Structure 1
Amino acid sequence: MLRLTERLNFLDSQHDMSDDQPLLIEQSICHYLANILNTRTGSVAITPHVGMPIMNLSTAGRHSDELIAYIKNQVLEGELRIKQFETISISNTISNALVAFTAKIQCYDLSTFKCQIKVRLDNTVEVSLL
């Protein structure tokens, strides 16, 4: 379930992946989600619909449900290892963040994990493993 370049890097360093593989996959997915969500819509020629638009910060906070639904759609389309994405809790009171929410992610190998996704006021998105 790791991306090809990640597997090659581990093989090159003679790292034993068998013990750490579930955690490595979760970290890999979170890292890739951060890359997808910090890409601007239209900046990738082969898939112009992938990424986040530049948000109007004066109105985006009032439409957090729409923003979370858009993020969910981007995650499910952009990361093929994810089977299910469920929003668990939403917080609009975190400093320097427009909206933050916790998501429960299920992969196709039926492993599950939680991550926190924060949309920051500077139009960047932070994804962290919980």
Structure 2
Amino acid sequence: MEGITHRRIRTYGIWIHVAELGKLPLVLLIHGFPKLWSSWNYQMTHLAKHGYRVVAPDMRGYRDFDSPPDLASYTTLHLVGDLIGLLDQLGEEKVVHLLYWKNLFYHLLRSSSTR
């Protein structure tokens, strides 16, 4: 996983762990259950070599991402809100979306990223 950097980003009162590699334009890679950001290692390396900035966050409740104790804090809208907050903190307005988990994320993120 050479060259991949890690950091925690605070948004909407929680900390999100992200792995990053490369330069713009941005590709956001989202894992599903029971994966982690590292499930995208091959894709991150490949995309970065082809000129993309790749960000792969751990999702809410996974690994080094905050885990709110209330189960009601794990709805699809919370997860989409986390990703929108992440994009805001990254200072990015345009994203190429490669999603692994639920087509609903694609539709919600697409409509919010065109603001």
Same fold (TM over 0.5): no
TM-score, with length taken from structure 1: 0.29
Which one has the largest radius of gyration? 1
TM-score, with length taken from structure 2: 0.31
Query: Relative contact order: is structure 1 or structure 2 higher (C-alpha 8 Å, sep ≥ 6)?
Result: 2
